[in-house]
Amino acid sequence: MQNQDTLQRLKTIDGHLRGIIRMVEDDAYCIDVIKQVQAVQAALNKVSEAILKDHLSSCVTTAIRGEDPNERARVLEEITDVFATSQKN
């Protein structure tokens, strides 16, 4: 997976996270820190969605249209797994 959009988003999020580290170093108000952490998490949700969308239309589609039943089962199980984890985050 090489994706300029994903890469750019992750770098922006990393800048955001480093900003939070400075906030904590500068003794910022707890609630302001928590709100910024939550903003980073929402931005990471968007990254996961974009990656999953690409993955479904590329790797998953190829595997399901292919003739290897194990490979088909594998890609589908991965989708269920990341969905299950997304509900717990």
- What residue ranges bind a copy of itself (CB under 8 A)? 1-3, 6-7, 10-11, 13-14, 17-18, 20-21, 24-25, 27-31, 33-35, 37-38, 40-42, 44-45, 47-49, 51-57, 59-61, 64-65, 72-73, 76, 78-89
Q: How far is the CB of 70 from a copy of itself (least distance, A)?
A: 13
Give the nearer residue to a copy of itself in terms of CB position, either 30 or 70. 30
Instruction: Give rounded-to-5 percent helix, strand, coil for the chain.
Output: 85, 0, 15
Q: Which tokens sit at 81?
A: 């797994």
66, 72 contact by CB (below 8 A): yes
